[in-house]
Amino acid sequence: MQMLEQDWTTICRTDDLITNSGVCALHNGEQIAIFCIGEDIQNIKAIGNYDPKGKANVLYRGIIGSIADELVVASPLYKDHYSLETGVCVEDESLSVPVYEIRVVHGEVQVLS
Amino acid sequence: MQAKENTQKQRIVVVGNGMVGHHFVDQMIKAANADYQVTVLSGEPRLAYDRVHLSEFFTGKTAEDLALTTTDYYVENGIEFYTEAMVSAIDRDAKNVKTQDGRTFEYDKLVLATGSYPFVPPIPGNDQDHCLVYRTIEDLNDIEASSKCSKIGVVVGGGLLGLEAANALKQAGLETHVVEFAPQLMGVQLDSAGGRVLRHKIESLGVHVHTGKATTEIVAGETSRFRMNFKDGEHLETDMILFSAGIRPHDSLAKLADLDMGPRGGIVINNQCQTSDDNIYAIGECALWNNFIFGLVAPGYTMAKVVANHVMDSNTDESFTGADMSTKLKLMGVDVGSIGDAHGKSAGALSFVYENQLSGVYKKIVIDEAQNKLLGAVLVGDTSDYDTLLQYMLNGIDLPETPESLILPSLSDKPLLGVDALPDTATICSCHNVTKADIVQSIDDGNQTFADVKSCTKASTGCGGCTALLKNVVDKTLSERGVEVNNHICEHFEYSRQELFDLIKINDIRDFDTLLKKHGKGLGCDVCKPAAASILASVYNEYVLKNEHVSLQDTNDTYLANMQKDGTYSIVPRIAAGEITPDKLIVLGEVAKKYDLYTKITGGQRIDLFGARVEQLPLIWEELVSAGFETGHAYGKSVRTVKSCVGSTWCRYGVQDSVGQAIDIENRYKGLRSPHKLKFAVSGCTRECAEAQSKDIGVIATENGWNLYVCGNGGMKPRHADLFATDLDDVTLIKYIDRILMFYVKTADRLQRTSVWMDNMEGGLEYLQKVVIDDHLGLCDELERQMETVVGTYQCEWKTTIENPVALKRFRQFVNSDEKDSNITFVREREQIKPADKIKIVEVE
């Protein structure tokens, strides 16, 4: 139990988040895009910030939304959609970004490393 | 062994890679038949390009833009090709061709697509430098080089190609003259009255026209490089001469090989496009069918298709049986159309004529003796009836009782030719020979949108003249098939943009969440969110980065700057009308230097600073705002710039203060959010240095006030603006612009430029004039009120942002670190930064 707890690292606070939009946190040299879905501060998703098609760290600046029932972010560069659940690009399934386990504890946003 | 392999594949050798030669190759590629090896021998240094749109070379198109194919495409499809491989001889017994440089290519079937060459009249002195022709990209390079050291240019030849060439000279900035031997312009396509109206229109564009002139010699000039002496004793001084007096078939190769030739040239072909040697075909402008050479691309394409089919199956039914030579085109912005028997030469033919000298419109229809069928038509200045008339002629549709109603400008009761009236065999797209049946078939094969049908059938991808008709056929067929043609903005709202606009305004909805809860479903997306944000801004004009709006904006609006390929941003402060003080210019230079930003002048007379990291944006803007700069809205779907020339203040020719007017207009409409970007310009005289006719809103000064042009644009598909109203005073000018812009903001589709918006409106320009000038819809008061609201609530978004700590917090790469994004790196080029290349893929030859 204690071991497991240690694997969660705090990367920012919930008041750093923006409702229905994204921010980016740096964690062990990796850029993580964190999105807050709706008013519920517990409902957050995290994926890699690097857009593999545009080759730039910009995904946190994309617009979030839904395609059918899938939560997605639209890359601000070429408008491809990446699933916030699986990281897979909707337009080109050969492209994907990493997905991070993330949670909120006492106002702290933590990522599982 | 080698020989055996060779006999397995039929060797098809194509001589010439013009538009028609390439079309043949493309047909062979599409057939994907592995039994044939196609070899292309092209005399030109590059593969096929679009000669129809050659004059666009002078409006910024490059050789690459005009290319119809790529070497990659040929390589991928196994086409063997050689450029600069001029064929010098055909050995019909040995079945091979030899190139000038001594190579030999064996063939089973030979296709001659050698095209034509420009006819240069035998005038003494026609072979000097600066006496040129207009046919290839190399010719264009020569014309460009010559025009740089010339002031006056003459085109010899007033036919279709001659006028195209004159357009090219005009684009190159020369004083342009057209010299025509015949008494009228475009004598092949137009009757004398049509030629007269065309001449008048072209002259009003500043091109000098001389008809009935036979040039006797070209000698050294007195005031210019040359003097052209005419038979009637008159003369004309010019610096360059461009011959465009018709074409002659490139048939010397066939003549040498002793193939049957026409008495005045051209390689004689039968209905299968075979020459007198069954194994040799000829297609396009080198071929003579039924004593006729077809100088248009569409018949050439048909021939190419016939030959491709015949090569693969000698029993095919397909044959070439002539072609309709009707044409519709824009010459220097003047619409011209010619259908069938334009001159009324058929026995017993009758004609109806409509002419409006005020607007320069001439229309004539020619009907048969029985007064039942359309034989031909001439249209100058307005070709909107072309598609309908062509269908009447091609399909032998019975004329209405009053045939003149087809061309009279009766606003309401013009008989519309419904899609139903067209037989299945009706050709909708004559460039690619697509019939109504082909379109219906493609829909039955599963294509459900206009775009899909277009890409599947290629219809409307040639000259584009049939677009409206094609759309009608597609829409009608889809609705017959029960497919609902919807204009819903996206899956989250079952409404069009205009309906959303009305919902928001009428129900006083002020944020996206309410709109989604009341009228939509799901979470929204990157289509409906920015569209809603734009509508909310147009209606209420609140700060775009207000908490409830920020997540709706595209990244450019969120960060109030333009994202570039590496994730950095560019910054464009407003420089209204392009007028800037030296002190402000120095501030821009100092800021750019301090933050090491790449600096470039934009097309809209502003200065763009590139390479700012997201966290630098507020710091940079703090400096700019304190120096008195405002945001330029270069990031928004909104009013961008009002370009201006220097006007009567300084210019010898200016008749009004165009800079002052442009500043007033820019300051009035700055910040207006709209369905797409809006660009304006104001010119101080008819010389039009501000290029106002290429803008959404263009204003050109006259002696008596201002002429207003609307709905033009540059970009991918440039469109000239239409003259909306003339000689307006300042107050009326602004009133009309207010109404036009707000009507556009209210009714356009998302990302629809003003040109497409107006073209899609039933009634087009005339309807817009009725709404704006005559208040046909009773909307004008409301439109003006709405504009007053927007103008009255303007704020500089950057000034508001740097004073707002919550908004400022968002301008950072990392919420938990001050580190910079290590992926952004620059190298230097010409003393400025540029993004460093990421991974370079090394191509292996």
At residue B262, the pLDDT reads 93
Token pair of B842 as six digits: 């090394």
Please name the residue of chain B whose CA is at the shortest distance from the CA of residue A34.
B815
CATH number, domain A2-112, options 2.40.30.170, 2.102.10.10, 3.40.50.2300, 3.40.50.11390:
2.102.10.10
**What single string gives the DSSP state of each residue in A10-63?**
EEEEGGGS-BTSEEEEEETTEEEEEEE-SS-TT-EEEEESEETTTTEE-GGGSE
Q: In B, which residues are within 8 Å of A26 by CB distance?
A: 814, 816-817, 819
Q: What average pLDDT does this structure show over A76-101?
A: 92
Report the length, in residues, of chain B: 845
Has residue B343 got a pLDDT over 80? yes
Q: What average pLDDT does this structure show over A11-34?
A: 93
Bridge-based pairing of strands B267-269 and B287-289 is: parallel
Phi then psi for residue B208, to 5 deg, are -90, 130
Residue from B613, B804, B806, B816 to probe the interface with A (highest A Cβ count within 10 Å): B816
Please name the residue of chain A whose CA is at the shortest distance from the CA of residue B839.
A55
Has residue B752 got a pLDDT over 90? no
Tell me, yes or no, whether B238 and B288 share the same domain.
no
Q: Per the domain annotation, does B260 fall within a domain?
A: yes
Strand partners, B370: none
The one-letter code for the residue type at B835 is: P
Residue A23 forms contact with B (CB below 8 Å): yes
Q: What average pLDDT does this structure show over B783-802?
A: 94
Phi then psi for residue B321, to 5 deg, are -125, 40
Of the pLDDT bands very low, low, confident and very high (cuts 50, 70, 90), residue B455 is: confident
Tell me, yes or no, whether B308 and B216 share the same domain.
no
Q: What average pLDDT does this structure show over B177-196?
A: 93
Q: Per the domain annotation, does B805 fall within a domain?
A: no
> Under a CB-based contact definition with an 8 Å cutoff, are residues B702 and B686 in contact?
yes
How many C-beta atoms surround the C-beta of residue A39 within 10 A? 9
Has residue B729 got a pLDDT over 50? yes
Contact between chains at B816 and A11 (C-beta distance less than 8 A): yes
Residue from A43, A63, A91, A109 to probe the interface with B (highest B Cβ count within 10 Å): A63
Q: Among residues of chain B, what percentage have pLDDT more than 90?
A: 62
Which residues of B lie closer than 8 Å to A, measured between beta carbons?
491-492, 522-526, 528-530, 547, 550-556, 558-559, 563, 565-567, 614, 810, 813-817, 819, 821, 823-824, 838-839
Bridge-based pairing of strands B832-835 and B826-829 is: antiparallel
Token pair of B22 as six digits: 């390439």
Please name the residue of chain A whose CA is at the shortest distance from the CA of residue B811.
A23
Tell me, yes or no, whether B210 and B107 share the same domain.
no
Tell me, yes or no, whether B622 and B760 share the same domain.
yes
Of the pLDDT bands very low, low, confident and very high (cuts 50, 70, 90), residue B464 is: low
Q: What average pLDDT does this structure show over B102-128?
A: 94
Write out pLDDT tens, residues B90-111. Answer: 999 999 999 998 999 999 999 9
Has residue B228 got a pLDDT over 90? yes
Write out pLDDT tens, residues B671-696. Answer: 999 999 999 999 999 899 999 999 99
> Under a CB-based contact definition with an 8 Å cutoff, are residues B486 and B448 in contact?
no
- Name the residue among A26, A62, A81 with its Cβ closest to that of B819: A26
At residue B665, the pLDDT reads 97
Residue A19 forms contact with B (CB below 8 Å): yes
Comparing CA positions, the residue from B635, B676, B683, B636 lying closest to residue B656 is B683
Domain region containing B479:
419-483
At residue B841, the pLDDT reads 43
Last residue of a domain, one of B455, B483, B511: B483
Tell me the C-alpha distance between B25 and B42, whole Å: 12
Q: In B, which residues are within 8 Å of A71 by CB distance?
A: 523
Tell me, yes or no, whether B168 and B90 share the same domain.
no
Q: Among residues of chain B, what percentage have pLDDT more than 70?
A: 96
Residue from A36, A61, A102 to probe the interface with B (highest B Cβ count within 10 Å): A61
Tell me, yes or no, whether B779 and B749 share the same domain.
yes
At residue B199, the pLDDT reads 94
> What's the longest Cα–Cα distance across chain A?
43
pTM for this structure?
0.55
Write out pLDDT tens, residues B347-389. Answer: 899 999 999 888 889 999 999 998 899 999 999 998 888 888 9
At residue B3, the pLDDT reads 42
Write out pLDDT tens, residues B47-60. Answer: 998 887 787 777 77
At residue B380, the pLDDT reads 94
At residue B449, the pLDDT reads 75
Contact between chains at A77 and B567 (C-beta distance less than 8 A): yes
At residue B473, the pLDDT reads 85
Tell me, yes or no, whether B574 and B683 share the same domain.
yes
Q: Per the domain annotation, does B809 fall within a domain?
A: no
Tell me, yes or no, whether B635 and B738 share the same domain.
yes
Has residue A35 got a pLDDT over 90? yes
Q: Which residue, chain included where needed, has tokens 């195209």?
A: B164
Q: Per the domain annotation, does B819 fall within a domain?
A: no
Tell me, yes or no, whether B236 and B254 share the same domain.
no
Of the pLDDT bands very low, low, confident and very high (cuts 50, 70, 90), residue B418 is: low
Token pair of B723 as six digits: 């003259």
Helix (H) or strand (E) holding B350: strand B350-356
Interface predicted TM-score of the whole assembly (ipTM), two decimals: 0.93
Of the pLDDT bands very low, low, confident and very high (cuts 50, 70, 90), residue B461 is: low
> Under a CB-based contact definition with an 8 Å cutoff, are residues B526 and A63 in contact?
yes
At residue B410, the pLDDT reads 58
Tell me, yes or no, whether B617 and B650 share the same domain.
yes
Has residue B295 got a pLDDT over 90? no
At residue B417, the pLDDT reads 61
- Helical H segments across B580-729, by residue range: 582-594, 617-626, 658-669
At residue B622, the pLDDT reads 96
The one-letter code for the residue type at A52 is: P
Helix, strand and coil in chain A, % to nearest 5 = 10, 50, 40
Q: Mean pLDDT across chain B, nearest whole number? A: 89
Greater model confidence, B172 or B267: B267
Residue from B516, B526, B557 to probe the interface with A (highest A Cβ count within 10 Å): B526
Coil, strand or helix: which one is B791?
A: helix
Residue B7 burial (10 A CB sphere; 0-12, 13-18, 19+): exposed
Q: In B, which residues are within 8 Å of A24 by CB distance?
A: 813-815
Q: How many domains does chain B have?
A: 6
Has residue B158 got a pLDDT over 70? yes
Contact between chains at A76 and B563 (C-beta distance less than 8 A): yes
Phi-psi region of B19 (alpha: psi -120 to 50; beta: other; left: phi over 0): alpha
Of the pLDDT bands very low, low, confident and very high (cuts 50, 70, 90), residue B742 is: very high
At residue B598, the pLDDT reads 97
Q: Per the domain annotation, does B798 fall within a domain?
A: no
Contact between chains at A25 and B816 (C-beta distance less than 8 A): yes
Q: Per the domain annotation, does B623 fall within a domain?
A: yes
- Cα-based angle B79, B83, B85 (whole degrees, multiple of 5): 110
Tell me, yes or no, whether B391 and B425 share the same domain.
no
Of the pLDDT bands very low, low, confident and very high (cuts 50, 70, 90), residue B1 is: very low
Tell me, yes or no, whether B405 and B424 share the same domain.
no
At residue B838, the pLDDT reads 63
Contact between chains at B838 and A71 (C-beta distance less than 8 A): no
